[in-house]
Structure formats: C-alpha cells, structure tokens
C-alpha cells in the first residue's frame, strides 16, 4: 500500500481519536454513543460481537452475531493466518461478504502506517476503510498519581523477569508491534486492578504477580474478561471468549483462600442463561450457509432481543427471549436433515450465554451464577470493588449490564449421535 494513502488514513484516524478522547475528558461521551462510531462501518448490524481473544476461531462465532468485529494486527505474512484465524486467500471473499451482509467487520489495533508492508490487506483498507480502535484509557478510572505509582511498580516487575517470560512464551514476540501491544495491555490491566479493587484483593494480586507470573496472569485474565473489557470497550458490544482461558483463571481462583471482610459489593453479579450445543462450521463456506439458516429461523433477532434486554437491565425481556432462543437452538441441533445439508460442519461445541451486571440481580429461579456455573466457586472472594469506587466506575462504563458469550472449544460432540 502506498505511503501517501496510509499517511492520510492515519491523519484522519488521529483526528477521530483526539475528538473521542476530548469527549471522554469532558464527560460528554454518552451511553448512546460508540467509538468508533457506527458510521465508520458498512452495514453494521446488532448484536455486535468483538473477537476479543486472539485464538478464538471466527467461523463458529459469525453466525451468532449481527456483526462480528475482527481486530487486525500488523503481523507479517508468515504468522498472519495463525494469529488472525483466517487465510490470506480468503480476504477478497470476506470483504465482498462484508459489503453484502455486514456480518464481518474489521478494526485496526495499530496506526495505519504500521500496515505498510502488508499489501495483501489492501482490499480491506481500500474497500472497507476500517477504523482504528482505542479502548477507554485507564486515566478515566483512576487519578494520574495513583496510576503512575502502579506503572512504576509494574515496570519493576517487568524488568525483573516478566518481560523476558512473555517474550519466550508469546508465539509472536518477534513482531515488535504485537509484543508492544500485549505488554501495554498487561500494564494497563495491572494498573487498573491495583487502582480499583479493594485493598485485600489488590495487594494479594500484586504479590502473586510479582512472585508467580503464571498465576498472576491467570488472575489477571479473570479480571480482564469479566470486568475490565466491558468497562473499557467503547464499542458497546459482546466480547467473545473460549472457556479454556477461563479455566486457567479458575485454576488460580480455586486455590485461593482469600477471606475478605464484610462483603461490600460483588463485582460479578452474573447469571448463567443457557448452555446449548451449536454447530461448528470449519470453513468460510459452511459459516455462510449457517448464517442463512439462522436468519431463516430468526436466531439473530432473538439473540439481539436478548442482548437488548440485558443491556437495558430488563429481567422480563431476558427471561422471555431466553426461553424462545433456547427452544430454537434445541430445534436446530436436533434437526438431522439440516446437518446433512451443510458441507463443512464437522461437530458441535457448547455455547454458553450469560448475563453480567445489574440485570443479573433481577433474575431468579433455576439460574445460577455464570462463573459459578463454569466452576468459579471462589469468584466472590476474588472480585469485589470498594463501594464508592464501584459506583463511580460503573457510572463511566458503557452499560450496567452486558451479555457474555463463551464457546467451549475443548468439548466436541459428534453430529451422528
């Protein structure tokens, strides 16, 4: 891609980012707004899902969303496909599918000029003009003096061996941009956890992180997925995850003996809504066929209604829609004739849907805690905000309630059974 094109692209993105940051600092970024704004995407449909975990396959995810947003990193050709979970040869088709349906969207995680040598991305850049994504800065959640203290604390840990440990274990550490991004993300998460959690949690986390990187990262993953991402993602969307990363966090949580003082406010007020088997399309073509089938059965409409009920903190809408969606998904899975019509569907995986936030407190009956349903029996001891900080943080968040979508790719079920 030509330098002039990317430089002009970057200038426009920086202008939008600065305008966004200005709105945030002035307290004018409203709950009915998104960043990047809706007009930056072509044919954006709801509900919106953000592929937040790099390794999660995209083909089984896309049929469940109005639009699925795929973040792009400037990874060189030799590592691009394994990192992004789609093939370079599929880019033209994906762009055309995006233009036709809006089911696939992209955002840039780095400055446009950093993609200069990746000419194979030109169809995405030229035809879709994906916006550059920026999460809500940690400075919106804590004072600069507090964050500076924890930044220096993290740098000491990083220099004492953590940075080298990440470089050895991270498969794309040779890519400077990718490595810098992951270190920046870890640093930001570290500062937020230290700044906004109750002292007994914050101090235990710091000690664990300093002396046991693996356990520290497991604990951070739990905070990141269930707390930090919903607070910092200005796209107002679901964050798709796979259950194996939660299992790592559970391994840490189950071993903890943290005994908090009187419970103030449990951060994870979560409810498990359903566990259903879903098809696993292994190819782009199978994914598109599944999209058509789900559209015919109004799966996306029901999924969006459920998401709206959760975001509006309306338990009545959630209960009604959850039942309709549950019945529909059961019918789809039991339809053996349908299984034979889609080429490329090999097996099924469990889909886990949950509600987190204030709406979960209004759900009763057979519902159980989302994380408890996954085995996180130590969650109340791990995640608690001090009351006054929790209220302030939630007031700045995108929504007091949000939907969780998790795929258990470790469990696979034969379609012949």
The dihedrals phi and psi of 183, each to the nearest 5 degrees, come to: -65, -40
Are 282 and 365 contained in the same domain? yes
- Choosing from 94, 128, 162, the residue where a domain stops is 128
Residue 260 pLDDT > 50, yes or no?
A: no
Are 21 and 124 contained in the same domain? yes
Distance CA 231, CA 226 (A): 9
Are 313 and 376 contained in the same domain? yes
Least confident of 150-154, 192-196, 270-274, 366-370: 366-370
pLDDT at residue 387, rounded to an integer: 44
317 within a domain of the structure (yes/no):
yes
239 within a domain of the structure (yes/no):
no
pLDDT at residue 259, rounded to an integer: 38
Query: How does residue 283 score in pLDDT terms, banded at 50, 70 and 90?
Result: very high
Residue 225 pLDDT > 60, yes or no?
A: yes
Structure tokens belonging to residue 156: 């000491």
188 within a domain of the structure (yes/no):
yes
386 within a domain of the structure (yes/no):
yes
251 within a domain of the structure (yes/no):
no
Give CA 183 to chain center in angstroms: 18
Are 288 and 353 contained in the same domain? yes
Contact at 8 Å (CB) between 110 and 74? yes
Are 144 and 27 contained in the same domain? no
What three-state secondary structure class fits 235? coil
Give the closest residue to 50 by CA, choosing from 39, 34, 27: 34
Give CA 221 to chain center in angstroms: 12
- Choosing from 106, 128, 150, the residue where a domain stops is 128
pLDDT at residue 12, rounded to an integer: 98
Identify the domain containing residue 320 by its residue range.
270-414
Are 189 and 219 contained in the same domain? yes
Distance CA 359, CA 25 (A): 28
**Across residues 230-234, what is the average pLDDT?**
82
Residue 380 pLDDT > 70, yes or no?
A: no
156 within a domain of the structure (yes/no):
yes
Q: What is the pLDDT of residues 301-358, one digit of tens each?
A: 999 999 999 988 899 999 999 999 999 999 888 887 777 777 888 888 999 898 877 7
Give CA 207 to chain center in angstroms: 27
Instruction: Name residues whose C-beta falls within 8 Å of residue 266's C-beta, 6 or more positions apart in sequence.
Output: 379, 380, 383, 384
Distance CA 274, CA 325 (A): 9
Give the closest residue to 107 by CA, choosing from 242, 235, 238: 235
Least confident of 60-69, 118-127, 215-224, 361-370: 361-370
Is this prediction's pTM over 0.75?
A: yes
Strands 345-357 and 401-407: antiparallel
Are 16 and 115 contained in the same domain? yes
Residue 265 pLDDT > 50, yes or no?
A: no
Give CA 50 to chain center in angstroms: 5
Length of the chain in terms of residues written = 417
Total domain count for the chain? 3
255 within a domain of the structure (yes/no):
no
Distance CA 315, CA 230 (A): 20
Are 17 and 116 contained in the same domain? yes
Give CA 97 to chain center in angstroms: 23
User: Highest mean pLDDT: which of 41-55, 75-89, 101-115, 240-254?
Assistant: 101-115
Are 203 and 339 contained in the same domain? no
- Choosing from 97, 128, 159, the residue where a domain stops is 128
Contact at 8 Å (CB) between 161 and 213? yes
What three-state secondary structure class fits 289? helix
Residue 371 pLDDT > 50, yes or no?
A: yes
Query: Is cis: bond before 204, omega within 30 of 0?
Result: no
Residue 5 pLDDT > 70, yes or no?
A: yes
Are 88 and 165 contained in the same domain? no
pLDDT cut 90: percent of the chain above it: 42
pLDDT at residue 389, rounded to an integer: 47
254 within a domain of the structure (yes/no):
no
pLDDT at residue 383, rounded to an integer: 45
Are 155 and 226 contained in the same domain? yes
Strands 48-50 and 104-108: unpaired
| Mean pLDDT for all residues in the chain | 83
Are 118 and 168 contained in the same domain? no
């Amino acid at each position: 891609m030509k330098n002039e094109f990317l430089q002009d692209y970057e200038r426009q993105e920086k202008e939008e980012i600065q305008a966004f940051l200005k709105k945030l600092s002035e307290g004018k970024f409203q709950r009915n707004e998104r960043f990047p704004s809706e007009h930056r995407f072509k044919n954006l449909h709801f509900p919106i899902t953000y592929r937040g975990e790099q390794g999660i396959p995209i083909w089984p995810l896309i049929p469940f969303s109005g639009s699925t947003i795929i973040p792009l990193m400037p990874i060189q050709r030799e590592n691009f496909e394994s990192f992004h979970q789609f093939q370079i040869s599929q880019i033209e088709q994906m762009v055309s599918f995006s233009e036709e349906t809006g089911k696939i969207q992209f955002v840039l995680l780095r400055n446009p000029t950093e993609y200069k040598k990746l000419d194979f991305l030109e169809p995405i850049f030229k035809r879709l003009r994906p916006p550059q994504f920026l999460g809500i800065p940690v400075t919106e959640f804590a004072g600069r003096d507090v964050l500076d203290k924890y930044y220096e604390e993290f740098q000491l840990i990083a220099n004492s061996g953590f940075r080298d440990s990440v470089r050895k274990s991270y498969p794309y550490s040779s890519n400077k941009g990718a490595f810098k991004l992951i270190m920046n993300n870890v640093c930001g998460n570290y500062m937020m956890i230290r700044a906004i959690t109750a002292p007994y949690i914050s101090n235990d986390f710091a000690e664990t992180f300093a002396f046991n990187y693996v356990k520290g990262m497991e604990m951070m993953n739990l905070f990141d997925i269930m707390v930090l991402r919903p607070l910092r993602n200005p796209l107002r969307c679901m964050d798709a995850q796979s259950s194996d990363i939660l299992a790592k966090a559970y391994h840490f949580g189950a071993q903890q003996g943290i005994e908090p003082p009187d419970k103030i406010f449990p951060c994870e007020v979560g409810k498990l809504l359903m566990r259903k088997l879903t098809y696993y399309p292994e190819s782009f073509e199978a994914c598109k066929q599944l999209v058509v089938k789900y559209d015919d059965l109004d799966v996306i409409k029901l999924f969006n209604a459920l998401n709206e009920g959760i975001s509006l903190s309306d338990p009545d809408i959630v209960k009604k829609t959850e039942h309709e969606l549950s019945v529909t998904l059961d019918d789809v899975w039991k339809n053996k004739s349908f299984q034979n019509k889609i080429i490329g569907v090999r097996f099924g995986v469990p889909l886990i849907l949950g509600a987190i936030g204030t709406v979960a407190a209004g759900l009763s009956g057979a519902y159980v805690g989302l994380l408890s349903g996954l085995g996180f029996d130590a969650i109340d001891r791990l995640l608690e905000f001090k009351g006054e900080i929790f209220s302030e943080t939630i007031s700045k968040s995108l929504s007091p309630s949000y939907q969780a979508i998790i795929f258990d790719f470790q469990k696979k079920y034969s379609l012949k059974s």
